[in-house]
Structure 1
């Protein structure tokens, strides 16, 4: 078991934390991040939905990715998996998260509920509400190969099914 004594302490100048500030007005919506469904992605940090560094903000020095998806009613992803943990927290609306070999396990979550899908579990999500809603997404790794890079090359989506839940 790792203890606090085992973790190497990183020396950071407190003033450097300002460089890690991301203001909402500096986060443009990316409507082209996903090839399968039309949805807006706000990427605050990490590589969520894209490894393209031209999409600001470019705050990638982290062990997590964080973003918000905005979408109308309907399926927002195909059944797929990642080598990372993925956490979903609705900011508004109702979202259905499904998982399992055929997406047979399902739960509907509402504002500020949370579900964490472990690595290597097939998952999908859908806005099951009546209007546009936002879903916060946190991924346990900011490295492109762990999640985001999959969506830039559809041929790497080996575990995607044809079924949208």
Structure 2
């Protein structure tokens, strides 16, 4: 396969994203309907077998997205693996705790790494449609979603049932109603008591606000380039702003007019999310060279073993780099 064909297979354009509208058990619950779920790289934790997946090969982590209009919620749930979000459009109110009693509002470019063993949900606030990218650690769903019992109760009567093996049954789409013994059991009060709680102040170390990004010149001391080390392990060589053990890390590169990052490679798996502006990626792999221009919202999985450069083509560009390790090797 030519390098250009690999590029085409590894590229997901924002304008070509295909949503799923019944990916989870709460997808038809009033107040949690009217939302789009996207599996961009890997199937993530989508419970529906009908969910479209753009790129199935994960190589260590999953990239997804959530899009929804104002007032629509993603219900309280927890994960056994890392879950990180980067807000792309609109404003999201994140709420967490067993009763969703704590909250924070995040907007464009804000990043949050939500700890495991913690119930969380989110809704779009304000007047604009909201969209954010999500990163899930691990090659698979890590055991799927752990739903708050109230979410499972509220979903009853809307045609979606969650089985004990984590699969979703959609009776409106023709599936048979499962028998009661097949259904996911509700968490008991004793099990709920084992989940953690964080105040809003305790959650702030897990948040990197766009206005507070701190540039680091650790890899590229290049004119018109700012590099940010946003999330990663507290013992990593990089001084990450959010110090969390997530199995993944997030870097970001802000290129002003004329800015570029030279050709380089990393041993870790890399996925680029082009957040703002237009960015040209020039790749070299096994003696071949090819290029691709990433526009706003595009996602590109860098082929294993390839080196690449980034060049700003228009305005200021901001590109996130998701790495398949929370202790990435310094260049």
Q: Deviations over 1:54-82 (max 9, x none)?
A: 72314233221111211011242221111
Q: Distance in 2 between matches of 1:99 and 1:62?
A: 29
Deviates more, 1:126-135 or 1:14-23: 14-23
Determine if the alignment matches structure 1 residue 48 to structure 2 residue 64: no
**Are residues 82 and 133 of structure 1, via their aligned partners in 2, closer, same or farther at CA, if it must alter by over 3 Å?**
same
CA–CA distance in structure 1, aligned partners of residues 51 and 94 of structure 2: 30
* Residue number in structure 2 paired with 1:27: 17
Q: In 1, distance between residues paired with 2:82 and 2:120?
A: 11
Mapped pair 1:72 → 2:69: yes
- Select 1:152's aligned residue among 159, 164, 168: 168
Deviation at 1:121, TM superposition (A): 0.9
Q: Secondary structure at the match of 2:22?
A: coil
Query: Higher strand fraction: Structure 1 or Structure 2?
Result: 2
Q: Secondary structure at the match of 2:76?
A: coil
- Establish whether residue 99 from structure 1 lines up as the match of residue 96 from structure 2: yes
Question: Cα deviations across residues 60-105 of structure 1 (Å, max 9, x unaligned)?
Answer: 3322111121101124222111101111221111101111222222
Q: Which has the higher contact order (CA 8 A, sep 6+)?
A: 1
- Give the aligned partner of residue 86 of structure 1: 83
Q: How does the TM-score come out when normalised to structure 2?
A: 0.39
How many residues are matched? Answer: 148
Unaligned runs of 5+ in 2: 27-31, 146-164, 170-182, 193-331
Greater CA deviation, 78-87 or 19-28? Answer: 19-28
Separation in structure 1 between the aligned mates of residue 94 and residue 137 of structure 2, nearest angstrom: 18
Distance 1:54 1:106, change over 3 A: closer
Give the structure 2 partner of residue 8 of structure 1: none
Q: Over the residues paired in the alignment, what is the CA RMSD in angstroms? A: 3.0
